[in-house]
Amino acid sequence: MFALYKKEVQSYFCSPFAYVISALFLLVFSLSFISGISNMDSNVLKFSFSNIFYNGFFYFIFMIPLLTMRTFAEERKAKTETLWLSAPITVPQVVFAKFLAVATVFLLMMLLSLFFPIVAALKGTVVVSSLICGYLGFFLWSLVCIAVGMMMSALTDNPIIAAVLGETAMILLIFLDNFTKTGLVQSVPVLSKILTWFSTEVRFGAFSQGLFSLADLVFFISLTLVVLVWTIIIIEKRRWSRG
C-alpha cells in the first residue's frame, strides 16, 4: 500500500500538474487575503484567516476535482486498471492509498499558504488557536470533497467527465447548505434539523470561530469514510462483473 501511495504522490510532482494547481490555490488565497486586508477600516478589530476559507471555499473546491479526476478515470482509459485489480493488493488498499496521496498533495498546498499568517504575524497579532482550528476545519472539509471527487472518477473512464461530475457533486453540497437556510426548510423543523446535521458548512462554522468540536471532527471523518466505502463498492462491483 505504501509503495502505491508513494507512486501516486510522485506522479503528481513529476508533472507540472500539482504545481499549476498549487499556483492557482495560492492565487485564490492571496486575492482573498488582499481583499480581506483592503476591506479593513478603523472599526475592524481583527482579521480572520478562517474567513478566507469560509468565504472562498466555493473557489477552492473547483481545484479539488482537478486533483481527483485522474485517480481512477485515467487508468480505466489507459487500460492499466487491470494491473492493480489483478495484483496482490486489495481494492480498499488501492482506494485508501490514492486518497492519502491526494490528501497529501492538498495538505502541502495548504502548508504553502502559511506564508500569509507569518506575514500577518510580523505586522500584527495572529490568534493561533483560531488559525489552527480554521486550517483543521478546512482540511477536514476538503477531505470530504476529495473522497467525493474520487468516487466520481471511479464512475467514468474520462478524466474530464470525472472533473465535471466532481464539480457538480460539490456544488450540490454547497446548494444543500444554502437550501437548509431557506424559509421553506426552516418552516419544517424536523427537516431543517436533519439537513442542518448533514450540512458541512455548518460544521465548518464552529472551526472557523476557533472552536474545536469532537462531534464535528467525527462527522467529517465518518462522512469521508462512507464516501470512500462507496468508491470501494463501485470498483469491486466492476471487478466482479469482469469475472
The residues, any chain, with a CB within 8 Å of residue 158's CB and separated by 6 or more, are 73, 77
- Give the rounded distance of the alpha carbon of 133 from its chain centre: 16
pLDDT of res. 210: 76
Euclidean distance between CA atoms 183 and 186, whole angstroms: 5
What pLDDT, on a 0 to 100 scale, did the predictor assign at position 232? 94
Domain borders along the chain are: 2-36+46-241
Name residues of the chain where pLDDT drops below 50: 42-45
Q: Hunting for cell 485508501 — which residue is that?
A: 96
Under a CB-based contact definition with an 8 Å cutoff, are residues 4 and 84 in contact?
yes
| Cα dihedral: 141, 72, 108, 228 (round 10) | 30
- Determine the pLDDT at residue 39: 65
- Measured CA to CA, the distance from residue 89 to residue 66 in angstroms comes to 26
Residue 43 pLDDT: 44
Q: Which residue reads 469482469 in cell numbers?
A: 242
Helix (H, G, I), strand (E, B) or coil at 86: coil
Rounded CA separation 2/6 (Å): 6
List Cβ<8 Å contacts ≥24 apart for 111-120: 112/22, 112/25, 112/26, 113/25, 113/26, 113/29, 116/29, 116/30, 116/33, 116/49, 117/49, 120/47, 120/49
- The confidence score (pLDDT) of residue 221 equals 95
Query: Residue 44 has what pLDDT?
Result: 46
What's the whole-model pTM score? 0.88
Give me the pLDDT at residue 106, please. Answer: 94
Q: What is the spatial distance between Cα 199 and Cα 186, in angstroms, rounded to a whole number?
A: 14
Instruction: Please tell me the predicted confidence (pLDDT) of residue 101.
Output: 95
Distance of CA 27 to the CA centre of its chain: 17
Give the pLDDT score at 243.
55
Position 45 scores a pLDDT of 43
Cα gap 239→175, rounded to integer Å: 34
